[in-house]
Chain A
């Protein structure tokens, strides 16, 4: 059934309605083998819903979802064999020992008895669970719980991992650990992972899908997404009048006149008495000219720095409308 030449994930015109709420509205995308895809969107955008349909937990209202060429609605059992899934909030059986839990999952995954032990050992090693095997799942810290969830998802060595917010609720150290783990897993597997944390995507994902209100709004590499907005580097300046306040329009005029500057935007942030602006520019670094001009105008330069643009800005721009 599994067709290796087919894309790992194919989603076509997918919609899902919960009563009156339309959670997913005509979503279409493909994920080829081997990609690590970040699935972004604000809360309620329909990420989890999409993943639940993909894993066969929910039925789509219309459209289709395929894994490795297998339609999840028509052949749910076959399709699910190909994936490991870490659901949102990582539900686990709290009353089982970690070892019992993993064995149970191995049983349900129909892993032959002979290969169960090495496969469990492998997942345990990769997720660093050795020291907690005899503990009840319910007694584990959040970080360990997450690792148990991941171990469960990779136990049977599936080609596709679907991870729904794998780092939510973890402390910064735990986030770094889990992120490293995912990165490592990404070398051999196709991963679709949803998240809120944008730096995570930039460091781990080779591709970003952004959805908003159930619709795909962006699909590119993290770098391209940033570049699309006209260069990745900005200069942020803040100026203040020396004697009394100055007119914003004056500042705009001055900044726009500097060579190389292509666009000036007022930036947020408090600069008591002053004004902050973000400059886009081409080729030439505008800072020397900028310094000179500001001095010439007898204004006070409060701040001037270069800023690398992040995905966050793109994300906000795309999902705020």
Chain B
């Protein structure tokens, strides 16, 4: 061990005593810095991803350049004879050389730490910077470097000519870097092996921020085999018996390592270093697949060969499903299907038969595969790709089908890869639950038209009308309650029943119409619901305050108003502030995620007052350009919306969610309160509102584990907006030239110290 360290240290010292070191490292840093920072501000993301994708290819060249002299030079100078007649094992010699080279390479890599520091400093404030991929990247580089350097060392042991050593090393590294790029030319089985052999493939795994035993074992195996052969090659002119023993033992080691690698594919551990543990299955997902009572099959239809970022989406999907499988009780299976691979010859022919329709657009008949996918509910998406130097749109698939006991759930298109796990687990839970959940619908002071809403919810759940008149109870099979209307019709007994229901840990939503609207004319009727104070008081105890006045918003939907122009009558769209339109809702909240352009007609404001033990979140609010009007209301769309009369004082909260243990409750429950029920009324039930309504129902039914699952951020943190030009240039120049300059300064200082030491040694002896 001591010999290993002595040799490594000598290599390190002799390297940094020679000017070549500074030239090689300097060129490495200059090229890396230039390549990385020239597009850094253009890309606009505070991410080192680009740097980490540059270093491996640079290593293909710099690795062998670093190792070429290690043994070849000793052989040429004859010093190898000294080294190998010392009382140390050949293995120590090889290991010492290897460690020395690895240290030098890692010094070179760690000299890029200033990049990491500046990049993290330039990240947009408030958005947490993820250090996971940075740590993973550096660790991955250490592994990548060790495999490249061991191959370079092997090359150096084969010859006394450094140039030959360099070229052989370059060839080896090149091969193991690029094998996976040729995978597409081979059948999938061989392609998979080639991909596995690629150091770059394993590096990109680790560089995501996941230390996976599979990748580590691959790197260690490759390094071990290279070093083993190096030990043998170190001694030339071996006799036959030794050669045979070597071939046998190497063969045994290689076979052993292949086995270890194969086993490692089944039994592995991984450490997810990313901030929100992006690549780790959440508890809710694990629980779901661990307790499967029957076989669940997932078919993921992802088109292969898509450009970034879709390619990594495909891989993420595969890894995710792999995780589900390994967490499952063996009843979970999945297949990744590339729809283009599944095409028959006839399909391929069909794709060529392109016609033009009357508008000049190209059309063609769907292939059998496409038709099949359509039947499954998987939808194609058009993606821009560059093929043959031309920008083209390509039809691609990114959908998932989950099958369980003859039931089927589908994600037609994976819109946001960061939510894939959440969506999948949600679907799985839906499929495995033992009974259809029941939504109790309490309608009072109606009649509201909720036919479309009921029909929609009935697709996945059972809707049961619940009447609370004359003290009747809530049926015991009701899982969640939806209270719609003014609340005026609810007497004390009814409220007590509701209160009991939510205190027992069940969830409820209150869509309260404080201003009663005529469902035909949409005119506000008289004042608000008469005896609604009791509901309001109850909600106030839960921290929710329901206001009286209507919220009007400049960001609003339009109303078609009949216009009379001479003889003609036509419909004129007019902006109608009584129907606020909410364009940006929180995309990370389960209720509002994926919803845009919701309209909330005739709504009052609903706010949450901090209450001990309860957690409140505002789900929706009006824009800044909104205001409040109280009865009596002037609902005429033609009225004058003059700036003088209206004071814009928004935003106002319109919908809140409260979770936690309610007063006197045993269990935690969730409430949702909105200032109007109109958004689920048939006339307003447009696409966005349907999405919101479904989310609300899902929210009421969902178990808390599922809700606790967070969306994973796959989007890089953007750079700060207001970086001054001078700062930009300082960052660029400082990193590109500053680091190599520091290196050179160190070299000069080192040289001077050494000269000084040399003189004092000469003198005192």
Contacts and interface: CB of A to CB of B under 8 A. Distances in A.
Given A91-B77, A134-B761, A108 B239 contact: no
Please report whether the interface of chain B is mostly helix, strand, loop or mixed according to DSSP. helix
A137 B85 CA distance: 20
Contact of A59 (B83, B239, B762): B239
A97 B761 contact: yes
A97 B755 CA distance: 10
A49 B83 CA distance: 17
Nearest to A110: B2
A97 B758 contact: yes
A277 interface: no
A60 interface: yes
A52 to B, nearest CB: 7
B188 interface: no
B79 A124 contact: no
A212 to B, nearest CB: 23
B665 to A, nearest CB: 72
Contacts of B521: none
Interface stretch (A79-87, A215-223, A287-295): A79-87
Interface in A55-75: 55-61
Interface stretch (B3-11, B216-224, B320-328, B459-467): B3-11
A91 B86 CA distance: 14
B340 interface: no
B237 interface: yes
Contacts of B81: 52, 57, 87, 91
Contact of A108 (B7, B14, B80, B760): B7
Contacts of A91: 77-82
Given A78-B87, A104-B6, A59 B242 contact: yes
Contacts of A152: 82
Contacts of B13: 100
Contacts of B239: 59-61
Contact of B14 (A18, A61, A96): A96
B42 to A, nearest CB: 44
B765 interface: yes
A92 interface: yes
Contacts of B237: 18, 58-59
Contacts of B765: 124, 130-131, 133
A109 interface: yes
B18 interface: yes
A84 to B, nearest CB: 10
Contacts of B238: 59
Interface in A115-139: 124, 130-135
Contacts of B88: 77, 108
Interface in B213-269: 235, 237-239, 242
A312 interface: no
A9 interface: no
Contacts of A61: 239
Interface residues of B, number: 34
Interface centre among A58, A81, A85, A131 (most CB of B within 10 A): A58
B364 interface: no
B84 interface: yes
A71 B80 CA distance: 22
A80 B85 contact: yes
B757 interface: yes
A278 B758 CA distance: 60
B89 interface: yes
Contacts of B6: 104, 107-108
B89 A133 contact: no
B610 to A, nearest CB: 67
A287 to B, nearest CB: 53
A132 B77 CA distance: 21
B759 A134 contact: yes
A95 interface: yes
B504 interface: no
Interface string B722-765: 00000000000000000000000000000000000111111001
Interface string B60-86: 000000000000000001111111111
A99 interface: yes
A286 to B, nearest CB: 53
A85 B85 contact: yes
A95 B84 contact: no
Interface string B556-593: 00000000000000000000000000000000000000
Interface in B28-86: 77-86
A177 interface: no
Given A61-B239, A95-B18, 18 more contacts: A18-B237, A52-B81, A59-B235, A60-B239, A77-B88, A80-B87, A85-B82, A87-B81, A91-B78, A92-B79, A99-B761, A107-B6, A108-B7, A110-B87, A133-B762, A134-B757, A134-B758, A134-B760
9 contacts: A57-B81, A57-B84, A59-B239, A85-B85, A91-B78, A95-B18, A97-B761, A108-B7, A131-B765
Closest 3 CB pairs of A and B: A91-B78, A134-B761, A134-B762
